[in-house]
Amino acid sequence: QLQLQESGSGLVKPSQTLSLTCAVSGGSISSGGYSWSWIRQPPGKGLEWIGYIYHSGSTYYNPSLKSRVTISVDRSKNQFSLKLSSVTAADTAVYYCARVQSTIYAFDIWGQGTMVTVSS
């Protein structure tokens, strides 16, 4: 059973870069037919799609965050990462990593989520 686990800094200062990693276990991140995505949820609010990386390495980002977001894959460690630069308090949220089944275009497996607070 494939599982995802987020990790990274829980507290980031304003204007700095948020960095998170999603470790994939129980399967290979290089398996064809899947993409890997980041989604966030501010406290008490709804879900926001951040971006995804296809198994080929191609990346696609939410237009509202595109200038600040980088998603990358480390196949040797079977994990993918999120970097969000120039953060503000508005970036405070629970960040989820998720697998996208490319045939159904849905997020079928999610990590448990990790809370990131932007504060000085």
Partner 1 sequence: QSALTQPASVSGSPGQSITISCTGTSSDVGSYNLVSWYQQHPGKAPKLMIYEGSKRPSGVSNRFSGSKSGNTASLTISGLQAEDEADYYCCSYAGSSWVFGGGTKLTVL
Separation of alpha carbons 44 and 103, rounded Å: 31
- Piece of the chain touching partner 1 by CB under 8 A; list 14-22, 26-34, 83-91, 110-118: 110-118
* Minimal distance, residue 120 CB to partner 1, in Å: 27
Grouping H, G, I as helix, E, B as strand and the rest as coil, residue 74 is strand
Integer angstrom CA distances of residue 27 from 51, 63, 66, 80: 21, 30, 29, 13
C-beta neighbour count of 56 within 10 angstroms:
10
Tokens (6 digits) for 34:
């899947």
- Is residue 3 near partner 1 by the rule CB under 8 A? no
- The DSSP letter of residue 9 is -
- Is residue 43 near partner 1 by the rule CB under 8 A? no
* Minimal distance, residue 113 CB to partner 1, in Å: 5
Complex with partner 1: residue 15 or 64, whichever CB lies closer: 64
For 43, phi then psi, to 5°, come to -55, 125
Pattern 49-88, binding to partner 1, x per CB under 8 A? Answer: x----------x-xxx------------------------
Instruction: Please give the residue ranges that form the binding site for partner 1 (CB under 8 A).
Output: 37, 39, 46-49, 60, 62-64, 96, 101, 104-108, 110-113
